[in-house]
Amino acid sequence: MKKTLLTVVALAACFSTALAIDKNTVEITFNGNTATVTMASNISSYVTNQSSGSHVKLVQSASFAGVDKTVDNEDGEIIYVLSGSTTNGEFYLEGAFKCTVELKGVTITNPNGPAINIQNGKRVSVSAKSGTTNTLTDGANDNYNGAFHCKGHTKFKGKGTLNVKGNSKHAIYSKEYIEIKNLTINVTGAQKDGIHCKEYFLMESGTVKINGTADDGVQVELDGTTSTGVTTGHEDEDTGNFYMMGGTLSISSYGDKAVKADGAIKCTGGTRNFPQADMLENAILLGVDAALAGGTTKAEVFDLQGRRLDVQRSTFNVQRSTFNIVRQGNRTIKVLK
């Protein structure tokens, strides 16, 4: 269903065109040093435009709780559609309700910060539209965590392509979980991790290629000091676990590990193109005996300097309150005694 638009001009540097757009939609079109922001009239009262030139800043009202639900948009959330190109711009979004960011052939380089910076602690869907290539590049500035930076739960989806390069820290950063389905993600470099998230990481399908990271390919942190344990449908889960159910994950030219997780690494499907020995899980929460139990291969334990330690599985005879590396067959874990 279409509805008459309300056009909002992002200060004098931005221009708009009189077109009809879908309900619940904000369209952002980058064009060099300018950006056009166009809002559907049914949600215009919920979004404040504080943009300047090609640096787009939108603030979604805290009072927004969904409008005009449809079959395809059952939460009635606001959809932000990004297209066009800029070599000195950004997309910055604040909010407190679920939203969707559609990447529809957009290229954003921000020399001074994240290309996309989403300050919204709720679920954020990031959809690369079919047939489109989208590219995000940041600048060398340590005041943020990623070229793509998201405060909330991040679900990557779609059948398009997303290219990301992190010149400051991580290429892709989420303060909460990351889920990936269908799309192609190419991380072409990062000063730290290619993908870094908290709570858990889940790859269901799609293709992820990570190349040229100074630290890990993928790192998953526990968001706190205790684990929720695995939950049904991963609802409210905070385990620090890495899950791979399908798709293809290729990681090359990394500084530390291909995959590192505060919790467990659980691969039940898909293709992994990197040495399996370069997957490191952290058994702090699992308990030493639980971490070593069930294996038929003798475990070897090393300190962080690589020195082999004398270990008995029942007593884990190493220095307490220190980290140690346990290798058992193709499985490597980091253990706190």
The per-residue pLDDT for range 210-236, each reduced to its tens digit, is 999 999 999 999 998 888 989 999 999
The pLDDT of residue 283 is: 54
Q: pTM for this one?
A: 0.83
* Model confidence at 106: pLDDT above 70: yes
Q: What's the rounded Cα separation, in Å, for the pair 88 and 150?
A: 20
The pLDDT of residue 21 is: 87
The pLDDT of residue 297 is: 53
Burial of 147 (0-12, 13-18, 19+ CB in 10 A): buried
What angle is formed at CA 141 by the lines to CA 140 and CA 146, rounded to 5 degrees?
Answer: 85
* Model confidence at 288: pLDDT above 50: no
The pLDDT of residue 315 is: 40
User: Which of 152-156, 248-252, 253-257, 322-326 shows the lowest per-residue confidence on average (mean pLDDT)?
Assistant: 322-326
The pLDDT of residue 225 is: 80
The per-residue pLDDT for range 243-258, each reduced to its tens digit, is 999 999 999 999 999 9
Q: What's the rounded Cα separation, in Å, for the pair 102 and 160?
A: 10
* Model confidence at 22: pLDDT above 60: yes
* Model confidence at 177: pLDDT above 50: yes
Q: How confident is the model at residue 316 (pLDDT cuts 50, 70, 90)?
A: very low
Mean pLDDT, to the nearest integer, of 194-200? 98
**Dmax (CA) of the chain:** 74
The pLDDT of residue 304 is: 72
